[in-house]
Chain A
Amino acid sequence: MASPKRVDVNFFAPSTASMKAEVSVARIIIIFWALLSYGIPTLIWVTGLADPNGLGESFITQTRFLGFPLHYWLVAQGCTIGYILLCKLYCTLWDRKVIHHHSKRFGGDR
């Protein structure tokens, strides 16, 4: 079957240089996002495994940070602050890597 060459787009195997730049930015942010979103609850879970009541009490819940129990602050404010910083980082990285790349292509560097 002779058919014209299909476009190849795959997040895990970006084909063009511009797509590579975009994916590399997205990948960094998604890794940090996963660490924040699932790493922190996992940390709280692992440290709390020793609590005989099964409520997850640990040094994290006993530590006070800005007046808060640390486990509460981390999820209520730490994560959201982290997400905003990640979005900012995404925009910055994009400006640096992707737009830089585009302008290079605009200059005729194909």
Chain B
Amino acid sequence: MSRYLGTLILTLSLLLIGSSCALAAGEEIYQVEQGFKLVPALIMVALLCVYIGVGFLSKVTSTSGYWVASQGIGKLGNGAAIASDWMSAASFMGVAGLLYLKGWFGLGYIIGWTGGYVLLLCLIAAQIRRFGKYTIPEFLGDRYNSHGVRLIAASVTIIIAITYSTAQFKGIGLICGWIFGMNYTSSVFFGAGVVCAYMLISGMAGVTRNQQIQYAVLISAFLLPLWFLIRKAGGTGILPQLDYGKILSDLMEGKTAVGQVDVDTTYMIRQAYLPWGKGNFYHFLALVFTLMVGTAGLPHIMIRFYTVKNEDVARKSVLWGLFFISLLYWSSPVYAAMGKFWYPTGGKAVADVIILSAPERAGLGSAFIGYLASGALAAGLSTVAGLLVAGASAIAHDWYATVFKPDCSDREALTVGRAFTTGLCFVVILTALNPPALIAQIVAMAFAIAGNTIFPVVVLGIWYSKSNKYGALAGMSFGLGMTLLAMFGWIADIPMFAAEGILPATSSALIVCPLSFLINIIVSNVMADKLDEESASRSDNLLRKIHNLPGYVDDEKNANKNAFAR
């Protein structure tokens, strides 16, 4: 135990040194009121104490406890955990920011991020639960009987964890900057210290229990200020999610908090709220499709289905998870509309902090905004925790314990897992210091990776018995290669991969994902004769298990052949 405390203190002191040395600042922070804010700071510190306190109360010792909390979480609890994992800084701050900037077009993020759950439910959830092991790389590695597939899947999990966490750290940085009046760089380090400490102490059993608390804090933080905001904007204050319709319709005619705006500004607002003012039909569909297949292919969401009692609970927790998530997504457009109402001409610089600056401009008390900010911080924190666990488990479990050193002890794997969690955290900090895009856009790129690589191979793995390791390797390499190409193209400002290009990094899956399916199918069929007996029989055995077919042999315990253990 003292060893972990030592690691912890070392990490924290490194991070603190880092934050005091930091110099540069994010531009966004200057768009909101600056300086140290006492009340929000107190709220935030109190909240963090609760989180870390719960972490202390739920220490874990065994490896399986660290990766997935024991399989005893009900549908509501697991739904809340799905939602809490889901509700990241991207949903909290990023979606409102994009809706503020892009108007109707930004709604693509909302349907993309909710509709994906329907796909997940129909094609993946129940079957993954029947498989019943720890990680997605493990599922793929077993299904295709190939270390290559397992390694690519683990690498993808890590790349997703890094990309996604970068967006969260940007959000956490902006929030800490707002509360403590720090510059962006120091607050990224500060936030990272909190995340690392939290992660190293608790492990996932703690994370799961926290996630229900976090969901409650988070959703109330997001919803409560709306009632006050909507009244200040002249709504009835009964149900803000319906009230803002009138305000939005008025906005399209140029009626804002600062009175009737001039013709040009009215045109700009109108353009944002009409369908194709901020992007065309193709870009909308591409975005929606990418986010949907990405949602269904996200390893850290899929991992949630191992933690439930049975597949019935797995199905129903998707329903509850989606409902909990929708509560947030029915509300973020309200913030965006309120932002437009009080601040009709703000640009990119203000977008990611619109949930703070809109209430600030409306003169909402700092306690409310502080609670809101703490909620956003909680959102970022819980998502980062889930992601880093998925990433670290990919390294420790799928790289180290399975491929490189199969005979290592549980304890050794746990230590490696913790070490890599810290390592990942540092990589993320480095990326977050110079974020390439808006929060929601960075997250969308992570979804493109999941949708282009993981989704096709998981769906074919479950639903197409002819798919084999050669097809899987070809399809995944193609998907990963194309997505990374698009991402680097975006960062390098190549028009083809930019937001208005043919293959935007945020929405590459409409083209790449179907091709990845096709390549997997074609290569699998061409190479069918080359497949060895062992791979064929192992994948058949797994398919029997996940589809409840007769003849399944449990080669690990060789017991309980009852395929309908419900």
Contact = CB atoms under 8 A, between A and B. Distances in A.
Tell me whether A and B are bound partners.
yes
A10 B249 CA distance: 48
Interface residues of B, number: 60
Dominant SS at the A interface? helix
Contact of A41 (B114, B284, B318, B463): B284
A61 B115 contact: no
Contacts of A29: 118, 121-122
Interface in A55-110: 55-57, 61, 64-69, 71-73, 75-77, 79-81, 83-84, 86-88, 90-91, 94, 102, 105-106
Interface stretch (B198-206, B350-358, B537-545): B537-545
Nearest to B292: A37
A72 B248 contact: yes
Contacts of A91: 315-316, 319
B276 A55 contact: yes
A67 B540 contact: no
A11 B245 CA distance: 42
Nearest to A94: B315
Contacts of B318: 87
A87 B276 contact: no
Contacts of A80: 110-111, 114, 326, 329-330
Contact of A87 (B111, B118, B126, B245): B118
Given A18-B548, A75-B107, A83-B322, A67 B245 contact: yes
A88 B104 contact: no
B322 A84 contact: yes
Give the interface SS of chain B, mostly helix, strand, loop or mixed.
helix
Contact of B107 (A18, A38, A72): A72
A7 B549 contact: yes
Interface stretch (B151-159, B267-275, B397-405, B493-501): B267-275
Contact of B281 (A41, A65, A87): A41
B285 A41 contact: yes
Interface string B314-325: 011011001100
B275 A37 contact: no
A102 B126 CA distance: 14
A9 B288 CA distance: 29
A56 B283 CA distance: 14
15 contacts: A9-B465, A10-B463, A30-B123, A33-B115, A33-B119, A45-B281, A61-B274, A67-B243, A79-B110, A79-B111, A83-B111, A86-B118, A87-B319, A102-B566, A105-B564
Given A56-B277, A76-B333, 4 more contacts: A55-B275, A67-B249, A72-B245, A91-B315
